Chains A and B, each alone.
Chain A
C-alpha cells in the first residue's frame, strides 16, 4: 500500500507535470505531439489568470519511483460552463505512473476532484475518453459516469489554427 499525499500543484511542480503529460502521451503513442513547454505551463497555470489547475500525488523520498521521482501522479482540470446549468468541472488529464497503480491513488484523486467540484458549486464533471480505452471507461462507469456521446449523440470537433487564420482574415 503506497504512502502518498495529494496536494495542489505549485510552480515548482511544472517540470514534473510536463514529464507526466509526456508519459501519458507516450502511453497513447503520441509523445512527439507534446509541444507545450515548462515556460508555457508556468505562465498558463500560475499567472494572473490560470487556464488550468493541477493536483499532484507525491510519495516520500524513500518510496520514489524507479527513475527517482517523488511526484508520481497528477490530474489537470479547469472550469467550463454549460448554458443550461452553469459551472462544470472539466477533467482534462489524469495519470498515475504505472508502478504506483493499484494503491487507490487514482480513486483518491477522483474523490478530491469530486470534492472540488461540489465545493465550487459545479453541477457535473465532464471529460472525454477514447472509445478504445476500456479500463478507463470501466473506472469511470463504476463511479456513475455516463457516455454523453452515446446518450445524446455529441461529437467533438476542432478548427485548427491555420483555418482560424483563414476565417479571421477572409474578406466578406
Chain B
C-alpha cells in the first residue's frame, strides 16, 4: 500500500474518473449506459457547487505516456490513476448528515494490496470529520464479494432489516407530471 497514493480528485483527473466509471460499468455489463461526459463531470464536480466528491488512488511508479486525447491536447505525464471512490453528502431527517458512497472501484490488476481498504478508511475518516452519523451505499444483491467486504467492516443491510426498496421516476414521467393537468 505504501507504493500507492490516495488524494482528493482534481479537475485534471476527470478523464481518469470517467475511464474508471466505464470500467466499473463494464464489470456490471452496463458500459453503454454511461452517457456522462468529461464536460459534465468537470462542471458537476469542480464548479461552484460540487454535486459529488472523488478520491483517487494513483500508482506513482507507473507513468502515463504522452498521447493526444480527442481534443488534441497532450495528456500530462504523471502517475496512473488506478482506483477511485465517488461520494456526496445526503441528509437523514432523523439524524442529519450522512456520507453516501456512490461508486467505488480499484482496477483488477491492483486488487489485493489493501487499496480498497485504505479508500474506505479515508472515507470513514471524512465521514467522522464532517460530522456524519453514518455512511450509506447500495450494493447489488448478487455481488457477494462486495457484500462480504462491507459486512466485515460492520455494514448492515437496511433493505433486509428495515424493508427499504429503492424506487425511481424517470425523466419522461417527471415531464408528464410537471406539465400534466391538475388532479
**One of A123, A137, A147, A155 near B139 (C-beta < 8 A):** A155
CB contacts between A and B, total, < 8 Å: 249
A84 to chain B: closest residue by CB: B34
Contact segment of B8-16, B71-79, B95-103: B95-103
For the complex, give the distance between the alpha carbons of A153 and B28 in Å: 12
Contact with B along A108-152 (1 / 0, CB 8 A): 101100110110001111111111100001001001111111101
User: Residue among B91, B173, B178 with the most chain A CB within 10 A?
Assistant: B91
Assess whether A83 is in contact with B102, with CB atoms less than 8 Å apart.
Answer: yes
Q: Is the interface of B mostly helix, strand, loop or mixed?
A: mixed
> Which residues in window 96-124 of B have CB below 8 A to A?
96-97, 100, 102-103, 114, 118, 120-121, 124
Query: How many chain B residues touch the partner (CB < 8 A)?
Result: 75
Assess whether A52 is in contact with B170, with CB atoms less than 8 Å apart.
Answer: no
**One of A25, A35, A118, A146 near B168 (C-beta < 8 A):** A146
**One of A78, A84, A161 near B35 (C-beta < 8 A):** A84
A residues within 8 A CB of B169? Answer: 114, 124-125, 140, 143-146
Assess whether B141 is in contact with A159, with CB atoms less than 8 Å apart.
Answer: no
Assess whether A145 is in contact with B173, with CB atoms less than 8 Å apart.
Answer: yes
B residues within 8 A CB of A147? Answer: 165-167
A residues within 8 A CB of B175? Answer: 114, 118
B127 to chain A: closest residue by CB: A164
Assess whether A104 is in contact with B183, with CB atoms less than 8 Å apart.
Answer: yes
A residues within 8 A CB of B30? Answer: 84
> Known pairs A36-B93, A156-B157, A161-B133. 12 more at Cβ < 8 A?
A25-B93, A36-B96, A40-B96, A86-B40, A111-B178, A114-B169, A127-B166, A143-B173, A146-B168, A147-B166, A153-B141, A155-B140
